[in-house]
Amino acid sequence: MGWLLVAVVAIVAVASGGLGLETDPGSDPAPEDRYTVDTDALTDAELRKGLEAAGGHLVRTDAHLGFAVLALEDPEAFETEAGQAPSPDPRGQPAARTPTAEVPLDAYLGAQWGPLELNAPQAWAIAGPDVSPTIAVVDSGIAIQHPDLPTDRVTMGHDYIDGDDNPVDTTGHGSHVTGIASAIRDNDRGVAGMTMADLFVTRVFGPDGGFCSDMASAIVDSVDAGADVINLSGHCTIHWEPLHEAIRQAWEAGVLVVVSAGNAQQSDPSECVRHPAIHAEALAVAATDPALQAADYSCRGPQVELAAPGSLVLSTLPGAYGFYSGTSMAAPHVTATGAMLLDQDPSMTPADVRDRLNETARDLGDDGHDEAYGHGMVDPVAALSGRPAYVPTSTEALDSETSDPFDPPCAHLGGDAECTHVAVGGTGGATTGDATACESRVGNGEVAIHPTCLALTATGDARAGRVAASGASG
């Protein structure tokens, strides 16, 4: 299975100078008096004569697409004088019976393979622009000044690293997780979050990690603050029962806890899925790469319930955007889907949400539940609509020999490293041709050329981008 990601940029230039005529958009005609003509086939003099004869005026022109909108009282008189028959301007009506896929205005949406693979725009059309449940992010805090993170929807919880109530992110992990779940959507910049939920943010991880006790306390804080879904993209190195108890209490209080499965498959495959993902009250999420293969680092085990996009995931960072990889990135895709389900039916219990997500997942790997993908890829549209799991109809299989986006340049940082960071900055990255190179920053600060990575426009605010896992430009 593969994916085909095509970012289409349409820049419509609306101008009036090309014809030398003044427009009058304020006097928009009745629909039956609104016509269009091909301005490429008309001179300024012909258009002027036609308008005068027809008792009309110019509403607007589109120089890029080569048409003009006219208000005409007598279209036949216009044709006689201008030599071109005007066409009635076609009407557009919303299709109210079936939700239509929202196409948000977010500059980097084309580089977000995760939401597009999950058919998130159709899920957004079903769920609506905002959802009422609250997502709690127990992580390294939030870059509260980031223009793509929703300050008006964030409640700041406790910072267990600095001992205050200002959980500002200094490492980037929490901001990245938060952006995947709920970055501002349709704001003509940056990335699009999977949902538009309210957020409760605590800080339990700093530059040197954190403590299981802080994680447990933050989960209790989240329940007390009214969270409906908790995202915990982290784990304990050993079993610590109070953390399990905090998750158990959250479950009994009606709060779903989504946890990353872990990233140690290569270093510790025998006991990879760790506390708290091993517990029955936690929903453990594994990671896939853009070719929909289980990521090599993603923990396998019977506790894995769902898979979600985890490799080369683009999201928000303090003062920037960047690509991280890890089961930490997979979990918030599931968290956001759970929040959309609860918005649709607030009476659902955590068990109800879990069952719906598992039953509607898109099966990957072995038939049925398996240790790499669980029940399969989370499917927001199927979960929200009750329809069968979504299977892309316009995908292109990737060559299995070139589909691994980490082969060869961006090796994982080893062991239990949370993520690999690919920086997107300035005008870095290929902008034309076959998108064969971009800068990728790995954990030691070295810069490598990543030949199969990404292309982003380098002008303005980078209106479009695409991830080309096989190095092709399409």
Whole-Å CA distances, 139 to 42, 120, 401: 62, 24, 36
Does residue 362 surpass a pLDDT of 60? yes
DSSP string, 192-217: --S---EEEEEE-EETTEE-HHHHHH
- Our answer to whether residue 275 is catalytic in this structure is no
Catalytic residue among 175, 217, 233, 328: 328
Whole-Å CA distances, 62 to 23, 24, 78, 102: 11, 14, 20, 24
Of the pLDDT bands very low, low, confident and very high (cuts 50, 70, 90), residue 372 is: very high
- Residue-wise pLDDT for 87-135, tens only, equals 775 432 211 122 333 345 467 888 899 999 999 999 998 988 778 899 9
> What pLDDT, on a 0 to 100 scale, did the predictor assign at position 62?
52
Catalytic residue among 139, 169, 370, 416: 139
Strands (DSSP E) contained in 84-179 are: 87-88, 134-139, 154-159
Task: Return the SS3 of 393.
Answer: coil
Cα–Cα–Cα angle for 334, 3, 452, rounded to 5 degrees = 105
**Domain boundaries defined on the chain:** 17-88, 109-385
Question: CA-to-CA distance for 371 and 353, rounded, in angstroms?
Answer: 21
The arithmetic mean of pLDDT across residues 279-308, rounded, is 95
Question: CA-to-CA distance for 271 and 77, rounded, in angstroms?
Answer: 82
Question: CA-to-CA distance for 99 and 107, rounded, in angstroms?
Answer: 23
Of the pLDDT bands very low, low, confident and very high (cuts 50, 70, 90), residue 374 is: very high
Predicted TM-score of the model (pTM): 0.65
Is residue 424 within 8 A of residue 69, CB to CB? The reply is no
Of the pLDDT bands very low, low, confident and very high (cuts 50, 70, 90), residue 145 is: very high
Question: CA-to-CA distance for 330 and 93, rounded, in angstroms?
Answer: 37
CATH code for the part of the protein at 109-385: 3.40.50.200
- Our answer to whether residue 267 is catalytic in this structure is no
Q: Which of residues 12 and 181 earns the better pLDDT score?
A: 181
- Our answer to whether residue 87 is catalytic in this structure is no
Q: How many residues does the chain have?
A: 474
Of the pLDDT bands very low, low, confident and very high (cuts 50, 70, 90), residue 380 is: very high
Is residue 86 within 8 A of residue 36, CB to CB? The reply is yes
Task: Return the SS3 of 296.
Answer: coil
User: The tokens 């389900």 sit on which residue?
Assistant: 341
Closest CA to 38 of 23, 18, 10: 18
- Residue-wise pLDDT for 164-187, tens only, equals 999 999 989 999 999 999 999 988
Structure tokens at 302: 């019977």
- Residue-wise pLDDT for 228-267, tens only, equals 999 999 988 888 888 999 999 999 999 999 999 998 887 7
Of the pLDDT bands very low, low, confident and very high (cuts 50, 70, 90), residue 30 is: low
Of the pLDDT bands very low, low, confident and very high (cuts 50, 70, 90), residue 343 is: very high
Does residue 34 surpass a pLDDT of 80? no
Question: CA-to-CA distance for 8 and 396, rounded, in angstroms?
Answer: 17
Whole-Å CA distances, 223 to 159, 229, 231, 413: 16, 9, 12, 34
| Antiparallel, parallel or unpaired: β 320-324 and 313-317 | antiparallel
Residues near 341 by Cβ (< 8 Å), separated by ≥ 6? 348, 353, 356, 357, 383, 384
Catalytic residue among 57, 173, 421, 450: 173
Residues near 9 by Cβ (< 8 Å), separated by ≥ 6? 457, 463, 464
**DSSP code at position 362:** B
Of the pLDDT bands very low, low, confident and very high (cuts 50, 70, 90), residue 201 is: very high
Question: CA-to-CA distance for 431 and 256, rounded, in angstroms?
Answer: 42
